[in-house]
Chains A and B, each alone.
Chain A
Amino acid sequence: MKQQFTAICTAISLIAGICLATASPVVAQDEKSLFGIDTGSVTYGRYFKAELGMAVPAFDSGNWHPPGPSDPQVFFDLSNENAAYGSIAMGYDWQNGYRGDVSLSMFGGVTSQGPWSYTVPTIAGPHASVSAKTSTIALMATGYYSPLEHKGNNRRVQPYLSVGVGLASNNMGDWTRVEPIGSTSRAFEGKSSIDLAWSVGFGVAFEKKREKGKTPLLLEVGYRYFDLGTAKGGTTPISSGRAPIEAFNFNNRQHVFSIGLRIPLEKY
């Protein structure tokens, strides 16, 4: 956990440093505005955006229901590694504080594993532990609201809020349950499933000072919380054994810290 926190802090510091360096170019004295203002440029219209970042999984309610009729539903205390995040989007900026885009986001494969935590109904353990690797692709429609821009502020730094909805394809690879005694493992086939997804987030957009005749360029640093629905494995045993009543599954929730580049496609 401490390592995750350190990694996140490092990433944010790096991103912030890049943004500040980009958004605050040194302006020569004779290039300063005679009106003493520094505003963003016209970014109205369609735009393309690409994002890269880090996804911090917050999987919860991981559980499976073993094949035995008297077996309880077993919940796990999952631990996950961080994963890469990438997204591309096409959108429209109305330049009145609102913009929206449709994005295709990819959440890198995350190996989640952990011992049993509790059972329903309660039955004394020990019970098997579990391990699975899951990746996700999400197609989301996201709306953004920039309150300062909405109020008529034209500065090049604009904070924003975001809300998105869409579909997520959760792809769980073959998953394994390991007996606590003897470490006997049994593997089951993976599965892909599509579920509803939503997200909320916030961030700051930094517009690079536009060079004459060039297209505006905006850097975005943001955080988004994604609920990507339920990731679920298959119930078919790979080698031997019986099929479980319910395959290993968990709520796929992820915190994403990202840096994005937004490029307006119109030039005014």
Chain B
Amino acid sequence: MQIEKPFRKKAALLGVSALALSGFFATDHFVNQSGGKIIGSAFASSHSGSGNHGGSNGKQGSGHDHSHDDGDSDDHDHDDATEDDHTHEDSEGGKGKGPKYGGGTDASDSDAKGKRPVWAKEGIPEIELGRLNVARAPGQVLDRAYDEALSNFTVEMAAFYDLPLNQAIEKLRTEFGTLTIIDSPLQNLALLRDALDGSSILNTLPQVSNSNETLMAIFLGGASDKTIPISPETAYSIALILGFELSEAASTALATDAEAVRAAILEGHG
């Protein structure tokens, strides 16, 4: 049985060709490419090489039209963006499929509003992603990780993912060894991809009633290397790889919370 997300089947078809290419040539499997960093054009090429990343999520109309690849695109009008000022309502763009997270936007939506980070105009900044690089996995691999995460999601896990952020952080800090959480970076990123459209599937469970922002922070913080700090650039880059473009405010907010989660895991893990 599969969890059917919108456009999943279409995405799987789109993933075939990209998978073959990435499978043949990405011998290091998303990790340690570009020395563990994604840098400007290096990101652009790898991203376009597996252009189903966003599309596979199925939450965007077209996963291929990532006008952000060259970073010099004129598609995103800054003037329009500033009018939105990252309000939740505005960021939805009136299209019914846009971002619901603090001004983030579907990366394929050329009419997207929301203020792009200043660094976005120059492409992806040079940042250390570490194991977050697995976000570049082909769409069907993320799909499988997503299904696997749900397949293993137990009552015990639900109790943790239902906690407010501060309590979750405290648990991670003090009871990490006994917590049952999703620790696979790929599964966390698959769930992050799911949540980036504004709603996490975990919240469809009666046992989980959490804010989407909290869940995203836990997913990103849980996916990250314990020792590599999560910056707004990190959050922006990962969301972009997953097919969503976050505003500067959204990137900063997500990074701040995710960094707190990462630090708590580091402390709890010892």
Contacts and interface: CB of A to CB of B under 8 A. Distances in A.
B34 interface: no
Contacts of A92: 23
Nearest to B204: A35
What size tier do the contact residues of chain A reach?
Answer: 20 to 34
Interface in A217-234: none
B26 to A, nearest CB: 9
B183 A42 contact: no
Contacts of A36: 1
Interface string A19-46: 0000000000011111111111110110
Contacts of B183: 212-213
Contacts of A210: 148
B41 interface: no
Contact of A35 (B150, B184, B187): B150
Interface string B175-199: 0000000011111000000000000
Interface in B109-165: 134, 137-138, 140-141, 143-145, 147-148, 150-158
Interface string B235-263: 00000000000000000000000000000
What size tier do the contact residues of chain B reach?
Answer: 35 or more
Given A44-B137, A152-B9, A94 B23 contact: yes
A154 interface: yes
B20 interface: yes
Given A34-B207, A95-B140, A153-B2, A39 B147 contact: yes
B20 A94 contact: yes
B29 interface: yes
A268 B1 contact: no
A266 interface: yes
Interface in A140-162: 152-155
A30 B15 CA distance: 35
Interface string A84-119: 000000001011101000000000000000000000
Contact of A33 (B140, B145, B150): B150
Contacts of B39: none
B12 interface: yes
Nearest to B207: A34
A42 B148 CA distance: 8
Given A37-B150, A40-B144, A95-B140, A154 B2 contact: yes
A266 B137 CA distance: 12
Contacts of A31: 154
A203 B137 CA distance: 28
Contacts of B141: 42, 44, 95, 268
A39 B29 contact: no
Interface in A151-182: 152-155
A153 B12 CA distance: 10
Q: Interface on chain B toward A: helix, strand, loop, or mixed SS? A: helix
A32 to B, nearest CB: 7
B77 to A, nearest CB: 37
A31 B153 CA distance: 8
A38 B183 CA distance: 18
B16 interface: yes
Contacts of B2: 37, 39, 152-154
B189 to A, nearest CB: 10
B8 interface: yes
Given A42-B141, A44-B29, A268-B184, A33 B156 contact: no
Contacts of A153: 2
Interface string A46-69: 000000000000000000000000
Contacts of B151: 33, 35, 37-39
B134 A268 contact: yes
A52 to B, nearest CB: 28
B266 to A, nearest CB: 17
Interface string B1-20: 11100001100100110011
Nearest to B137: A44
Interface of B: 1-3, 8-9, 12, 15-16, 19-20, 23, 29, 134, 137-138, 140-141, 143-145, 147-148, 150-158, 183-187, 201, 205, 207
16 contacts: A33-B154, A34-B205, A37-B1, A39-B1, A39-B151, A41-B145, A42-B148, A44-B23, A94-B23, A94-B138, A96-B138, A152-B9, A152-B12, A154-B2, A154-B144, A268-B134
